Chains A and B, each alone.
Chain A
Amino acid sequence: MKTIFLIVSFLLDGILSRYLPIHGLFTPLFTLISLITVYPLFNGDKTSYYKYAFVMGLAYDLLYTDTIIVHAFLFLVMAFIITKMVIVLSDNYINLTITSIICIIIYRFLEYGLLLMTGNMVWNFSYLLASVYNSLILNIIYSVLSSMIISFISMKLKAKRRRFI
């Protein structure tokens, strides 16, 4: 289920970007958000989780940004941060929202910092800030919705398994 969910989020990222304004209030970051919501499905298997994050980053690089390993590295860092945050924050929708907000902020700052350090961007704080708040609304909604869907499907699957036993 986790693989399907990650692939769907990844494809939605690309498809929605075609219909939403480039710098509008609804910038999708569904691949990153799916990494947050999908983590409980790994049952604490961090190695496997990091592998998934790395592969998703590679695919993101290849299809969306043509930057070989930049997002693979970034997603790996984000996956590490998510695993640490999950230890601190308990499992509920408010904490999920907080985790999503923090992850979006860190991800944008890291990505911008990398581009800045490698001479691909000029320093513009308002642009960086805009990128953060433009990514918040849609992605928070997606994180809550996707978490609901995942827990619903997980419950159904568990019930099915119990019936078989």
Chain B
Amino acid sequence: MYNKRRKFDPRYLLILIIVIIALILVVLAFALRKDRNLSPIEKIGKDTSTMILKVVGAPFDFVKTKLTEIKEKDNLYKKYKKLQNKESQINNVISQNENLENEVKKLKEQLELNTILSDKVFLNATVVTRNVGYWYEEITIDKGKKNGIEKDMAVINSKGLIGKITKVSNYSSNVKLLSNSNMSDKISVKIKIDDGYVYGLISKYDSKTNTYTVEGISQNVDIPKGANVVTTGMGATFPSGIEVGSVNKITTDNFDLSKVVEVKASVNFNDLDYVTVLKRKGK
């Protein structure tokens, strides 16, 4: 009678399973937090592995560079002719640029401004890995805290804006791309029209067409197709004047109250090898 074992109630088992699942979800939710800072162990691990990956990837990079060189050799003459035409205009543009820079400097002195929205410092970096997790839309670059990189800095390539720094370790950092369909930060942009600019917010990105959707534009404004779209510099992350794309299609929202502009991204997110991190001056 005393040796009789107590039966395990199946209800307890169910509760136990629910508790375990809930715990796992809580831990995973913490692990997936966007604003999470890397722990010192993670930083060391990430730096080491980034270096290994860079060394292992070097032969592949070499082959890719050689193949690109061979491809480009075919178009060399065409490019030369194109550049020859542009060369005549370059001196003119340089002198105009110098003149404008002087004017900006003088105006800043007069107004006692330390920085303006377009002031930035450039830091070049190489892409080490790219979007391995499929959903994360991130790239890893070979520059980190020791090189002056900080969280939330804007990242561009030769074509335009590509994203922002989300995680930083000592010698590498992660860049969240604008192609992220769950892009939480609405980016303020301006579109060039005849007599100035019209302002809007990027709300989403479509990977199939490589286009952004810009919302919040007044119905009364005429926007030409092909107009340039650049950042406004409003908000804490992106300096002003960085190219985002060009206007592709203009429609109206469901209530006919405002315009919705489809912007063709200037950047090809499939081809990111070298990037530049922008640091706002005075930040």
Q: Please give the residue numbers on chain A whose beta carbons come within 8 Å of chain B beta carbons, in ascending order.
A: 11, 13-15, 17-19, 21-24, 27-28, 59-71, 73, 108, 111-112, 114-115, 117-122, 124, 127, 131, 134-135
A32 vs chain B, min Cβ distance (A)? 11
In the complex, what residues of A have CB within 8 A of residue B273's CB? 18
> Contact between B28 and A114 (Cβ–Cβ < 8 Å)?
yes
Q: Does B132 contact A (CB under 8 A)?
A: yes
> Contact between A118 and B53 (Cβ–Cβ < 8 Å)?
no
> Contact between A24 and B270 (Cβ–Cβ < 8 Å)?
yes
A11 vs chain B, min Cβ distance (A)? 5
What DSSP secondary structure best describes chain B's contact surface? mixed
> Contact between A18 and B270 (Cβ–Cβ < 8 Å)?
no
Bound complex: CA A114 to CA B24 (Å): 10
Interface size on B, residues (CB 8 A): 44
> Contact between A66 and B135 (Cβ–Cβ < 8 Å)?
no
Q: Does B131 contact A (CB under 8 A)?
A: yes
The 8 Å CB contact of A120, one of B25, B34, B64, B174, is B34
Q: Which residue of B lies closest to A65 (CB)?
A: B133
> Contact between B29 and A118 (Cβ–Cβ < 8 Å)?
yes
Bound complex: CA A115 to CA B136 (Å): 10
> Contact between B60 and A63 (Cβ–Cβ < 8 Å)?
no
> Contact between B132 and A118 (Cβ–Cβ < 8 Å)?
no
In the complex, what residues of A have CB within 8 A of residue B140's CB? 63-64
> Contact between B129 and A18 (Cβ–Cβ < 8 Å)?
yes
In the complex, what residues of A have CB within 8 A of residue B134's CB? 27, 108, 111, 131, 134-135
The 8 Å CB contact of A14, one of B53, B136, B270, is B53
